[in-house]
Amino acid sequence: MDYFIELFFSGLTRGSIYALIALGYTMVYGIIGLINFAHGEIYMIGAFTAYIIASVLSIYGFPALSIIILAGFAAAIWASAYGYTVEKIAYKPLRHAPRLSPLISAIGMSIFLQNYVLLAQTSDFLAFPELIPDFDFMEPYADKVGSTDMVIIVTTIVVMIALTFFIKMTRIGKAMRATSQDRTMARLIGINVDKVISVTFVIGSALAAIGGILIASHIGQINFYIGFIAGIKAFTAAVLGGIGSIPGAVLGGFVLGLTESFATGYVSSDYEDVFAFSLLVLILIFKPSGLLGREEVEKV
């Protein structure tokens, strides 16, 4: 039973990480129907910014708590700025282009951003500072679940709830839902669609940055390539949960993380990704639009 609980928590941690990145995918997809392959890179840039700012602050001798907060803010701000700029450069001119063009543009952007960070910073792995301290009250359980894991899981759930409220309650949230349902109609009733899309990218990127910081301090290292693999998994999670749905992205992340964790624990980590992808195929066969996705109504 202990073993089960341990695996459960390690799956939950992993799933939360996927979920945080998947939220960005799912929001962007919901609004403009684009698989934003550069999203993983935004997450990487968020982590790098946090690394740089945190290192600078700690060299200047700032206290630990202020480092966490300032580095977190800086990462969110800059990641959002990158998300915003990428949208303006690579996707906005393609709004009326064939469906696959923005996808290729996104892949190009992803290659570009990876190499940009590689050249401007380094190809080496960097030691990411442990921003999250070990809590004393967690010490008795430290051999099962770490403090960082706890922070990651709680953050994900809080973010999901906050985001759901934001979209259900606020004006801009309503505008987002309207845009995602029918862009032309939304424009007709006076919604500034371009602004809504920008806001979506900004929020998605900020969430990716938060994910970036949490993961980097969990595994203690970053390099320019971390966005790619995490991005693909997060995208899988988003589709699994039903792309376009916010609780779906989180659920998809958890399901994927738990599957991988149990597959590793009870079978073999050699095939953890095979299990993950097979599960995806199975779920999509029985529910073609994901766990919580809307059934697409075909318009004739």
Partner 1 sequence: MMSSLVPLLQETLRSLKVALWFVFLTFPIMVIKVHPLEKSIEWRWQNMIFVGLGTFILSIVARILMDQGKKRRKKRALQHAQKYTLVQTILREPKYLYPLAFATLAFGLVFPWIFSSYQTNIMITALMYVVLGLGLNIVVGLAGLLDLGYVAFYAVGAYSYALLNTHFDLGFWVVLPLGAILAAFFGILLGFPVLRLRGDYLAIVTLGFGEIIRLILENWNEFSQGPSGISNIDRPGFFGIELTLDQSITYLFYLMLLLVVFTIFVVNRLQDSRLGRAWVALREDEIACQAMGIDKTKTKLTAFALGAMWAGMVGVIFAAKTTFINPASFTFLESAIILAIVVIGGMGSVVGVIVGAFVLILLPEYLRALSEYRMLAFGAIMVLVMIYRPQGIISTAKRHIQYKPKPDDKHKKQAADPS
Partner 2 sequence: MKKSINKTMVSTIMSTLLGLTFAATGVANADTLKLGVAGPHSGDLASYGIPTTKAAKLVVKQINSKGGVNGKQVELVIEDDVCKPEIATNTATKLASEGVKLVIGHICSGATKAALPIYKNAKIIVMSPSATSPGLTQSGDYPNFYRTIASDDAQAAKEVEFAVSLGLKKIAVIHDKGDYGKGLAEFAKKFIEANDKVEVALYEGVTPGAVDYSAVVQKIKRSGADGVIFGGYHPEASKIVTQMRKKRMKTVFISDDGVKDDTFIKVAGKYAEGVYATGPQDNSKNPLSKEAIEAHKKAYNKDPGAFYENAYAATLAILAAVEEAGSTDYDAVTKALHEHETDTPLGKIKFDEKGDAIGVGFAMYQVKDGKYVEVK
Choose from partner 2, partner 1, none: what does 80 bind? Cβ within 5-8 Å by kind: none
Q: Check binding of 265 to partner 2 (CB under 8 A).
A: yes
51 or 254: CB nearest partner 1? 51
Q: Check binding of 220 to partner 2 (CB under 8 A).
A: yes
Choose from partner 1, partner 2, none: what does 243 bind? Cβ within 5-8 Å by kind: partner 1
Figure out which of the listed residues 28, 218, 237, 241 binds partner 2, where binding follows CB under 8 A: 218
Residue where the block lists tokens 């779906």: 248
97 or 267: CB nearest partner 2? 267
Phi first, then psi, for residue 226 (nearest 5°) are -65, -25
Figure out which of the listed residues 100, 188, 270, 295 binds partner 2, where binding follows CB under 8 A: 270
3-state secondary structure 49-101: HHHHHHHHHHHCCCCHHHHHHHHHHHHHHHHHHHHHHHHHHHHHHHCCCCCCH
Using CA atoms, how far apart are residues 251 and 106, in angstroms rounded to an integer?
A: 26
- Shortest distance, CB of residue 149 to partner 2, whole angstroms? 8
Using CA atoms, how far apart are residues 75 and 5, in angstroms rounded to an integer?
A: 33
Using CA atoms, how far apart are residues 155 and 172, in angstroms rounded to an integer?
A: 23
Phi-psi region at 203: left, alpha or beta (left = phi > 0; alpha = psi -120 to 50): alpha
**Between the CA atoms of 232, 236, 242 and 247, what dihedral angle is there, to the nearest 10 degrees?**
-80
Choose from partner 2, partner 1, none: what does 17 bind? Cβ within 5-8 Å by kind: partner 2
- What tokens does 239 get? 């589709």
Closest CA to 27 of 184, 251, 195, 199: 199
Would you tell me which residues interact with partner 1 (CB under 8 A)? 29, 33, 35, 45, 48-49, 51-53, 55-56, 59, 74, 78, 81-82, 85, 89-90, 93-94, 97-98, 100-105, 107-117, 119-121, 126-127, 232, 235-236, 239, 243, 270-271, 273-274, 277-278, 280-281, 284-285, 288-290, 296, 298, 300
Choose from partner 2, partner 1, none: what does 220 bind? Cβ within 5-8 Å by kind: partner 2
Residue where the block lists tokens 């202020």: 66
Handedness of CA 255, 261, 267, 272 (dihedral sign): positive
111 or 158: CB nearest partner 2? 111
Choose from partner 2, partner 1, none: what does 254 bind? Cβ within 5-8 Å by kind: none
Q: Check binding of 39 to partner 2 (CB under 8 A).
A: no
Using CA atoms, how far apart are residues 118 and 233, in angstroms rounded to an integer?
A: 22
Closest CA to 215 of 28, 43, 67: 43
Using the contact rule CB under 8 A, the part of the chain among 138-146, 167-175, 198-206, 238-246 near partner 2 is 138-146
Choose from partner 2, partner 1, none: what does 35 bind? Cβ within 5-8 Å by kind: partner 1
Closest CA to 116 of 42, 180, 23, 208: 42
Sites of contact with partner 2 (CB under 8 A):
3, 6-7, 9-11, 13-14, 17-18, 123-127, 142-144, 146, 148-149, 215, 218-221, 223-226, 228-230, 233, 260-261, 264-265, 268-270, 272-273
